[in-house]
Structure 1
Amino acid sequence: MGNNISYERELAFQADRRKATTEFIKITSDLWYDKSIEIVLFKNQIIDRNVSDIIQLHEYAGEFVQKPISIFDSVEILRAINDLDLPPSKLDIGKLTYEYHSDNDQNFADVKTFVIDKLKNANDTEVVHPKDVILYGFGRIGRVLARELLVKTGKGNQLRLRAIVTNDMVDEGVLEKSASLLRTDSVHGKLMGTIDIDVNRNSLIINGTTVYFLSAENPAALDYTKYGISDALVIDNSGVFRNKADLEMHLKSKGVSKVMLTAPGKEIPNIVHGVNHLDHDPETNKIFAAASCTTNAIAPILKVIEDSLGIIKGHLETIHAYTNDQNLIDNAHEKYRRERTATLNMAISATDAGDAVSKIIPSLKGKLTSNAIRVPISNGSLAILNLEVRNKTSLDGINTILKKYALEGDLVEQIKYSLKKEMVSSDINGTSAPAIYDSKATIISPNEKNVVLYIWYDNEYGYSHQVIRLAKHMAKVRRFTYN
């Protein structure tokens, strides 16, 4: 009899929890589409997630902060947020829920009083003016950027994707192929939305908004103002232009005011958002680069270790998914190892990430060597950092340091702290943080001055989110954030 009563209580609790989660989803959707307030849960995206996803994210959050993060508390805080008159914002409901239970000494009268206190500076932020965006190139990164920009458009208060430029002459066939590649991606799944083709206007209608497809061999020859586009940011992911002189051609076209390169750039600032973006003034920098996916993965972690323990020297080895630059079957290639079938071989490759990161963190100049191995998986990479540190540390010590940075401070969007014992590469697909610290894999030498850190990264999705974060900063459309 007692077991049956206990089981019935469990069923009732599960029903109540799923009902609360349904309300959680509704409020987060209303906040996003009605007020341009984006809710995340310890950096994890919430929009378009289902009930089971939200429950699992709450369980991860509770394990991460070692305190229960209840869906019932989250809903109560969301109700309070929804009652406030807030500007477009990005709010971490996980952190708010955690702090609500941690700030008992503040003696808040109720949840609403707590929320008002925590978000009191929200209306002090500058008014955000939306920025038109042009994607120059439509390869792997270009398409992931397009998907994320379109799904996260909301009311269009920040970045608005207005046009995509390709080398192909745009016709019905090109539009059909582009639409097909956007609808379904073998790695990242189906696009959350609808895509229609408008042949007469050379455009795709994505989630009801028009995105023009343009063709050009010379960026300077384009006139974007013909399409109602002005003061735009060009995100160049074509792989063709890498130096300042070439990228300046974009500024000669009508309707463009800034240019961003999704690769390491020459003679222009290379920026990893969260690490050195504040060193570069959005008012004066018209051309800038988002560095590489590997640099974005290692720079946040190296910044933490350098600031906390000091780095004497080290070696970086990246285990990187194969890319379109390799051959699917054995064939001639200018780089010999890349001649061999990408899906069957591990291939040693070069990376300049060791040198590149010293441009982001100057104190590391000359301290790091680096190399890479391409492996037969389509997405998901791993950086292994073998470092000699100045100050002694322990496994608990280094994990505590990185957990703190993942929970609060300037790198919360960049570092995800993994608690999984069985982490493998497919687990990280779709992670928006560029650096996923594998806390269960870290090795500390007996002398406590040599550490080996394992940093996973989604070299497409995580990197694309870094590109978008940097684009928002340089375009001056960053909202009030609480994370």
Structure 2
Amino acid sequence: MGLGQIGRHLYHLVLENDDIEIAAVADIGKPEILHYLLKSDALDGLRCELRDNYLINEKFRTRMLQIARPGDVPWDVLGVDCVIDATGRYRRREYLEAHLRTGARRVILASLPAEPIDRVVIPGINEGSAVSEDRLISAGSATTNALALLLQTLDKALGVDCASMTTVHAYSSDQSLQDYAHEDFRRSRSAAQNIIPNSNESARWVERILPKFSGKLSGYALNVPVQRGSLLDLNCVMRDAGVTVKRVNEAIRAAASDHPMLIGVTDDPIVSSDVIGCRQSLLFDSRATLKAGKRIVKVLAWYESLGHACRVLDVVRHYSRLDGVGG
């Protein structure tokens, strides 16, 4: 449900393999504009057509429904087993349960939940805790995936006592290009003209996913005027005063070697537009590592929305394997 930026990424990614079919899409937009945006989004062209409210490609047909609320979508009639809620709007348990009441067997939320649900699964961190009985699952957010992986990697290899993070984040669809009235004074300002300090839920959720950091992790966001490509700035108080920049970079390289689909490393002097199309959860910037004093280390890692869409599908496939479906 929801064919915004993440939803469109998911559609393109599903077309690359044969293990998943998208039976239906529900969105507040008209099918014609959604089809137009899908085709505009494709980097190498998208061969699909809209016919009688079906989006048709060479692999499957997708029913297009202009429906706003979760409980109004007849997933049972549509033959849908797993719903991916990529609206970014319906993050409370009551809304997610509405998908179950209309026939879905499981709901994967493509953002962080507004309250505790069955499980938040971060690939590379805690997918081993997932069980087939889970019904309401979150795949976290792009920032949450990057933060959890980077923090756990540094902690396992070198030991981290506490940390703070800032995400320098591309603007999002709920921001306005012009100043407008908003209950949050800072978010009332133009996304295209300002660096906007903003709250971010990732640190709070990573504390739950990595309980040893409970009360030892904080963070916020700076929304900046770029469309895609974000940067995680993580400052850690290390356990060992002997940690060096070289050892930090070596630890991340080792993790990238073990988990190449999740963690990348670059030695190039890249900028935000260079990470557009990155499918990993994070791309570590080895040139940016700093040490201050005896135990403070700063690291930077790039990430973007396509990488998060890949993680959402990782979670879908993981639960399919738990159910004995797919490889």
**1:45-444 residue pairs with structure 2 within 5 A?**
136-150=1-15, 152-153=16-17, 156=18, 158-168=19-29, 174-185=30-41, 189-190=42-43, 192-199=45-52, 202-227=53-78, 229-230=79-80, 232-254=81-103, 256-265=104-113, 266-268=115-117, 269-281=119-131, 283-391=132-240, 392-408=242-258, 411-420=259-268, 422-444=269-291
Q: What secondary structure does 1:465 align onto?
A: helix
Q: Distance between the aligned counterparts of 2:76 and 2:100, measured in 1?
A: 13
Q: Distance between the aligned counterparts of 1:192 and 1:362, measured in 2?
A: 44
CA pair 176-306 structure 1, distance change in 2 beyond 3 A: same
Q: Distance between the aligned counterparts of 1:225 and 1:249, measured in 2?
A: 12
TM-score by length of 1: 0.64
Q: Counterpart of 2:300 in structure 1: which amino acid?
A: Y
Q: Distance between the aligned counterparts of 2:157 and 2:237, measured in 1?
A: 13
Task: Give the number of aligned pairs.
Answer: 321
Question: By how many angstroms is 1:218 displaced?
Answer: 4.5
Q: What secondary structure does 1:204 align onto?
A: strand
TM-score by length of 2: 0.93
Decide which of 290, 304, 308 is 1:463's aligned counterpart: 308
Q: What secondary structure does 1:234 align onto?
A: strand
Question: By how many angstroms is 1:478 displaced?
Answer: 6.2
Higher share in helix: 1
Q: Distance between the aligned counterparts of 2:237 and 2:308, measured in 1?
A: 27
Structure 1 contact 318–382 (Cα < 8 Å) conserved: yes
Unaligned runs of 5+ in 1: 1-135, 169-173
CA shift digits 1:113-134 (9 cap, x unpaired): xxxxxxxxxxxxxxxxxxxxxx
Q: Distance between the aligned counterparts of 1:426 and 1:471, measured in 2?
A: 28
Question: By how many angstroms is 1:446 displaced?
Answer: 4.5
Q: Distance between the aligned counterparts of 2:72 and 2:221, measured in 1?
A: 38
Structure 2 contact 167–230 (Cα < 8 Å) conserved: yes
Structure 1 contact 147–191 (Cα < 8 Å) conserved: no
CA shift digits 1:61-119 (9 cap, x unpaired): xxxxxxxxxxxxxxxxxxxxxxxxxxxxxxxxxxxxxxxxxxxxxxxxxxxxxxxxxxx
Q: Counterpart of 1:423 in structure 2: which amino acid?
A: I
Question: By how many angstroms is 1:219 displaced?
Answer: 3.0
Structure 2 contact 55–62 (Cα < 8 Å) conserved: yes
Structure 1 contact 182–191 (Cα < 8 Å) conserved: no
Q: Distance between the aligned counterparts of 2:166 and 2:228, measured in 1?
A: 17
Q: Distance between the aligned counterparts of 1:344 and 1:194, measured in 2?
A: 36
Q: What secondary structure does 2:143 align onto?
A: helix
CA pair 233-312 structure 1, distance change in 2 beyond 3 A: same
Q: Distance between the aligned counterparts of 1:345 and 1:218, measured in 2?
A: 33
CA pair 373-478 structure 1, distance change in 2 beyond 3 A: farther
Q: Counterpart of 2:288 in structure 1: which amino acid?
A: A
Q: What secondary structure does 1:452 align onto?
A: strand
Q: Distance between the aligned counterparts of 2:172 and 2:72, measured in 1?
A: 31
Structure 1 contact 184–191 (Cα < 8 Å) conserved: no
CA shift digits 1:323-360 (9 cap, x unpaired): 11111111112221122211111111111222111121
Q: What secondary structure does 1:341 align onto?
A: coil
Structure 1 contact 430–461 (Cα < 8 Å) conserved: yes
Q: Distance between the aligned counterparts of 2:326 and 2:197, measured in 1?
A: 39
Q: What secondary structure does 1:358 align onto?
A: helix
Q: Distance between the aligned counterparts of 1:191 and 1:338, measured in 2?
A: 35
Decide which of 452, 469, 477 is 2:298's aligned counterpart: 452
